[in-house]
Chains A and B, each alone.
Chain A
Amino acid sequence: MSIRFDKLGVVIALLIAYGALVAPFATLRANRIVPGEAKMILDALPAGAGIALLVLIVFAAVIVLLKTPTLIRLATAAAALVALALFVGMAATHLTPPENTYARVSPASGFWILLFAFALLAADSITRLRPQPAIRVLLLLITLGGAAAILMSGLWDGLSILKEYAGRADVFWLEAGKHVTLALGSLFASVAVGLPLGILCHRVVPLRAAVLNTLNLIQTIPSIALFGILIAPLGWIAVHVPGAAAIGIRGIGAAPAFVALFLYSLLPVVANTVVGLGGVPREANEAARGIGMTDRQRLFGIELPLAMPVILTGIRIVLVQNIGLATIAALIGGGGFGVFVFQGIGQTAMDLVLLGAVPTVVLAFTAAIVLDALIEMNAPQRNRGRTA
């Protein structure tokens, strides 16, 4: 039997080799802002554990390199990811000098490269298995549940990012709440406005170009500039409209951040609504009219259901985009995970930056997977039948 290599597997195996043998696994620093000392796997872990991890990684790399059954590849990726998660926690405990509360241990480039390589392997295997949407959401829940379990177990408590968290636990959840509220709130507002606007643009053709061009223009305004533009009108409203200040409308803070996110969200929602409605088969519309549906019945019974996958795709773009963009809100006092990112940059404390960045990425990733599953479950039958 000849040995056959997996094409993507070669790339992943090279990444693994580099991450495991060339790049450092963890960094030890005397305190949170000084440059640190890089440690390879064997230095970063207790003797036996280091060798065990290396053996596991070599074993995984061989499986990745060769053409192996997809389920085995997925199991390998899962095992490697769990091992990485456990050993990085162990490295933190091992490297931190006893009774030293200033020293910081953080994962180094080798760890991130390995994490990326095995995550890529997992994603590739899942794509090849073509699981049902519900299974994909289940896999996501298992992954999140696993991460949560490790967090609760205290295994990662030695890591620098969690030391940053420990000092800010209450603020962290407050900002998390603000972040989600900003991202979701502006999403709901943009759907509430964008969907009817899209329907209107579909029906009234002359309006279409004007509205879409305006929204395109808004997309090109940099967020900082948009915040600046909004200060004056929102400040004016706060002073002159009774009750506006009471519900939190001010020139800076959450209100302009909300308005900016809302404005950026409108284009994907409106554009996808127009495209989705335009893609409804002409015959279906014609027949609906011909057999006596009113305009409203046709809209809700035929056009919107058939356009829904495209509209949901727009909503997915908006949600992922908003979760990322909401970090900017911190610049004008709007709160959210951006608070940690900008504080961290100010203090040159990368761990603090990560405390803001990692949850943002996890949130965006989760939203993308859940909405993708929703879109697929909503796809018209004809598409589902063909892929099955």
Chain B
Amino acid sequence: MIEIDGITKRYDGNTVVNNVTMTIEPRTVTVIVGTSGSGKTTLLRMINRLVEPTAGAIRLDGEDNRAMPGYELRRRIGYAIQGHGLFPHRTVAQNIATVPVLLGWDKARIDAKVAELLALFQLDPAQFAGRFPHELSGGQQQRVGVARALAAEPNVLLMDEPFGALDPIIRAKAQADLLDIQKLLKTTIVLVTHDMDEAFHLANKIAVMDKGELVQYGEPAELVKNPATEFVQTLIGASERPFRLLSIETAAEAVEPGTADGKPLPEATSQRDALSQLLWTGRNALPVAAADGTILGKVTLEGLTRRAAKPQ
């Protein structure tokens, strides 16, 4: 659990983050959104003390984050940034091993961890361990960047626009992979982005920052249903509201009894994509299949339309 308690940051009398209080639940994905200059990155960087707050306190599992030197704190918190930030003169394996080496792990444990993470990120250790960052594609570099952030098995992973430099196709894959890994490792993730699609795709909870203030903090559906300010509404986009609602949940959660003709949709498909399929194929209903292929039921145009409507 991360407790942010009355955090303020001022630079030369300029307030960048103003009295933000929020609690981030363990083992969840929290996305901080806002326009540039909203203070979202500064807020993130105060969690691992890359930026020292002017006032307020941040507690990790009840312990003040100033209880130890900044560099020791940062070794216990994963950190991944836009453009991956890999060290160009070190191999993939050396990059991933950075924090374990700083922590003084023995060699066998480091090697095992590196191999495990490479496999987890679908990079063959035999092929990739000895490569240098410039020999990887953008998506591979980004995965190595996240693997490095997770190497010391941190409870908390901070990500600053981690997918900002990727093209849309690789970005979607990277987001899906991140969700899988989060489910597997149960890491608490705090992610900063200005991409609302990304926020709705990844977040358990979204925090909206505007001019240094935390204007709304809640579940994605809550933001769509009851935007706290004009700004939140603009950010979500008036014409996007029904689709935002649909993009939060999966087709499995909209399943109705019965069957339908057509190619089954995987249960993990978002309701938004399911609607898109229905519209495109011109059908009123499509079957939904579990990962093992069994048919769970169907999604219908009518059912999805109801879910996309403004809550009464």
Spell out A's residues near B (CB within 8 Å). Answer: 281, 283-284, 286-294, 297, 302, 305-306, 380-382, 385
Contact = CB atoms under 8 A, between A and B. Distances in A.
Contacts of B75: 291-292
Nearest to A294: B71
A302 B79 CA distance: 17
Nearest to B95: A287
Q: Name, among B74, B82, B84, the residue most crowded by chain A CB atoms within 10 Å (CB to CB).
A: B74
27 contacts: A283-B82, A283-B83, A284-B87, A284-B88, A286-B81, A287-B84, A287-B87, A287-B145, A287-B148, A290-B48, A290-B50, A290-B74, A290-B79, A290-B85, A291-B148, A291-B149, A292-B73, A293-B98, A293-B102, A302-B87, A305-B89, A306-B89, A380-B89, A381-B88, A381-B134, A382-B88, A382-B133
A34 to B, nearest CB: 62
Given A291-B74, A380-B88, A381-B88, 7 more contacts: A284-B85, A284-B86, A287-B84, A290-B79, A290-B85, A302-B87, A306-B87
A284 B90 CA distance: 11
Contact of B88 (A281, A286, A291): A281
A292 B102 contact: yes
Contacts of A381: 88-89, 132, 134
A383 to B, nearest CB: 9
Contacts, number: 72
B46 to A, nearest CB: 13
Nearest to A289: B50
Interface in B56-86: 71-76, 78-79, 81-86
A291 B79 contact: yes
B85 A286 contact: yes
Q: Name the residue in A281, A292, A293, A305 with the highest tally of chain B Cβ atoms < 10 Å from its Cβ.
A: A292
Given A294-B71, A297-B102, A385-B134, A287 B86 contact: yes
A122 to B, nearest CB: 34
Contacts of B145: 287
Nearest to A280: B88
A293 B90 CA distance: 15
A293 B71 CA distance: 6
B135 interface: yes
A63 B298 CA distance: 82
B99 interface: yes
A306 B86 CA distance: 12
A-B pairs with lowest CB-CB distance, top 9: A287-B85, A292-B75, A292-B74, A290-B79, A283-B85, A382-B134, A381-B132, A283-B83, A292-B71
Contacts of A385: 132, 134-135
Nearest to B75: A292
Contacts of B73: 292
A373 to B, nearest CB: 19
A286 B145 CA distance: 13
Contacts of A382: 88, 132-134
A56 B88 CA distance: 51
A101 B227 CA distance: 106
Contacts of B74: 289-292
A143 B156 CA distance: 61
A291 B99 contact: yes
Interface string B82-116: 11111111000000001100100000000000000
A203 B40 CA distance: 27
Nearest to B85: A287
B187 to A, nearest CB: 15
Contacts of B133: 382
A287 B89 contact: no
Contacts of A292: 71-76, 99, 102
A284 B134 CA distance: 13
A284 B94 CA distance: 14
Interface string B137-181: 000000001001100000000100000000000000000000000
Of A302, A306, A381, A382, chain B has the most CB atoms within 10 Å of the CB of: A381
Contacts of A302: 87
A284 B98 CA distance: 12
Given A283-B81, A283-B83, A306-B88, A291 B132 contact: no
A382 B141 CA distance: 14
Nearest to A381: B132
A260 B161 CA distance: 52
Nearest to B72: A292
Contacts of B135: 385
A296 to B, nearest CB: 10
Contacts of B158: 290
Nearest to A308: B89
A300 to B, nearest CB: 12
Most buried by B among A290, A294, A380: A290
Nearest to A298: B71
A326 B281 CA distance: 84
Contacts of B132: 381-382, 385
Contacts of A283: 81-85
Contacts of B86: 284, 287
A281 B132 CA distance: 15
A290 B85 CA distance: 10
A381 B85 CA distance: 16
A289 B74 CA distance: 8
A277 B86 CA distance: 17
A281 B89 CA distance: 11
Interface string B39-51: 0000000001010
A187 to B, nearest CB: 25
Contacts of A294: 71
Contacts of A284: 85-88
